[in-house]
Amino acid sequence: MPPAGVDPPARGGPRTASPSGAPATWSPWRAVVAFGVVSLAADMVYEGARSVTGPFLGTLGASALVVGVVSGAGEAMALLLRLASGPLADRTGRYWLLTLTGYALTAVCVPLLAVIPLLGGAGLVVACALVLAERAGKAVRSPAKSALLARAADGVGLGRGFAVHKALDQVGAFSGPLLVAALVAATGLVEPALAVLAVPGAVAVVLLLRLRRRMPDPAPERAAVSRPAAEAPRLPARSRSGAWFGTDLPRRFFLFAAAAGAATAGLVTFGIISFHATETGLLPLAGAPLLYAGAMASGAVAALVSGYLYDRWTGRVLLALPLLAAAVPGLALSRSLAAVVVGALLWGAAVGVQDSTVKALVADLVPQARRATAYGVFAAVQGAAALAGGVLVGLLYEGSLSTLLVVLGGTQVLALVLLVASLRDRSAA
């Protein structure tokens, strides 16, 4: 909900004409849906590639440890770098520039993976670099985009707004892997599928440029950051270090960030899930994108359900997240194809909730003018957890699977305890 003293936009109101003759701005719902369509096209690109990253690196000679480290480090970069890009967006007001730059990086890096076979022995190193660069693009755009999206979603309900955006996002995350699977099945190669992903990448950038012309300028939020407002009483002098690193954010926000970080550390990446499924012979290479597509469809449904419940029950709906994540490793890393499929679907549901309803609670926990900073700090905590979790899973997978399951289960118990503490702190605030 908007901070006290800030009037929310009209829910689903009509377009407003610009006094300068510029194109009319879109209503909150239309802006939310437009952001969802942009994410749909972009997700076809990076989720299509992500669905085969583990097996693709394996064909280049990568071990389970390398796949775990690269996938974990990639998620860490996509999250940790937001510690800088989030505050940068709030301080400079260049939300759109950062958003466009990040999407452009994804649109370029993924199709370049198609030329990796031409590089011979250097292919594995370059492929890892491109995977990490694409994740860096995610880090550059996400806090700024989430702040813009939250601004539109304020007018329709944060839970529902983020849920609808995530559902559209997941359509791309579903169709991208299906496209990759079809091309891999037809050609027997991953590279042609990666090259085709240049098309939805270009579409995403073009759509985003159109959306930029139809969205209101977020200048009011930027102005609020530059003055000591009532919504930021912890920094009467506007400490610059606090502005950059979020030390002025509420304690309940940091408790929630710690809870989400523990949940992320205890959730295995799909890179490891698909590596396990293909290396054990449970799935052919072309089956990995299909499994990923199913997981993304599961995530879309979970996002819609949890988003709707969030607007009714607030953050209590997130108590199901650690329980959901705790069930994933034992199923997804088993020797049964049916169990692996169920585990992947639960993984997708957990990711869907993390990428939608979790962001709605972040927007509710902090002042509107500090949202990009909060998203950056929040993502940094998740990034550190993702890196630690990726390395841990990679090491224990090759050592003791039973130890891995116990450790990940304990991590989710910690996540649940921290989440309860953050919700109690919030209710008491």
Render 131-199 in DSSP notation, one character per residue: HHHHHHHHHHHHHHHHHHHHHHHTTT-HHHHHHHHHHHHHHHHHHHHHHHHHHHHHHS-SHHHHHHTHH
Q: Is a pLDDT exceeding 60 seen at residue 7?
A: no
Average pLDDT over residues 3-14: 42
Query: Residue 75 — very low, low, confident or very high, per pLDDT cuts 50/70/90?
Result: confident
Q: What is the pLDDT of residue 344?
A: 92
DSSP class per residue in 66-106: HHHHHHHHHHHHHHHTHHHHHHHHHHH--HHHHHHHHHHHH
Q: Please indicate, yes or no, if residue 395 is contained in any of the structural domains.
A: yes
Q: What is the pLDDT of residue 363?
A: 83
Mean pLDDT of the chain: 80
Q: Please indicate, yes or no, if residue 13 is contained in any of the structural domains.
A: no
Average pLDDT over residues 367-384: 83
- Cα separation, 312 vs 149, in Å, equals 20
416 CB-near residues (< 8 Å, 6+ apart):
259, 319, 322, 323
CA angle 144, 133, 302 (to 5 degrees): 55
Number of compact structural domains in the chain: 1
Q: Is a pLDDT exceeding 80 seen at residue 142?
A: yes
Q: Please indicate, yes or no, if residue 235 is contained in any of the structural domains.
A: no
Q: Please indicate, yes or no, if residue 20 is contained in any of the structural domains.
A: no
| Per-residue pLDDT tens digits for 104-117 | 999 999 999 888 87
234 CB-near residues (< 8 Å, 6+ apart):
242, 248
Q: Please indicate, yes or no, if residue 249 is contained in any of the structural domains.
A: yes
Q: Is a pLDDT exceeding 60 seen at residue 230?
A: no
Element (H, E) at 30: helix 28-59
Q: Tell which residue, 280, 268, 289, has the closest CA to residue 50.
A: 289
Q: What is the pLDDT of residue 45?
A: 92
- C-beta atoms surrounding 254 within 10 Å: 19
Q: What is the pLDDT of residue 217?
A: 55
- Cα separation, 152 vs 8, in Å, equals 9
CA angle 66, 199, 272 (to 5 degrees): 20
CATH number (domain holding residue 33): 1.20.1250.20
Q: What is the pLDDT of residue 23?
A: 60
* Alpha-helix runs per DSSP H in 188-269: 191-196, 198-214, 219-225, 240-245, 251-265
Q: What is the pLDDT of residue 220?
A: 43
- C-beta atoms surrounding 251 within 10 Å: 12
- C-beta atoms surrounding 66 within 10 Å: 17
Q: Please indicate, yes or no, if residue 4 is contained in any of the structural domains.
A: no
Q: What is the pLDDT of residue 241?
A: 43
| Per-residue pLDDT tens digits for 257-280 | 899 889 888 888 887 888 888 888
* Beta carbons of 231 and 5 less than 8 angstroms apart: yes
- Cα separation, 247 vs 101, in Å, equals 27
DSSP 3-state assignment of 22? coil
> For 100-109, 184-193, 244-253, which range has the lowest pLDDT when averaged over its residues?
244-253
- Cα separation, 426 vs 394, in Å, equals 36
Q: Please indicate, yes or no, if residue 140 is contained in any of the structural domains.
A: yes
Residue 70 structural domain: 28-214+243-428
Structure-block tokens of residue 144: 């700024």
Q: Please indicate, yes or no, if residue 151 is contained in any of the structural domains.
A: yes
Query: Residue 3 — very low, low, confident or very high, per pLDDT cuts 50/70/90?
Result: very low
Q: Is a pLDDT exceeding 80 seen at residue 21?
A: no
Average pLDDT over residues 169-194: 85
Structure-block tokens of residue 273: 């899930």
Structure-block tokens of residue 224: 């609020």
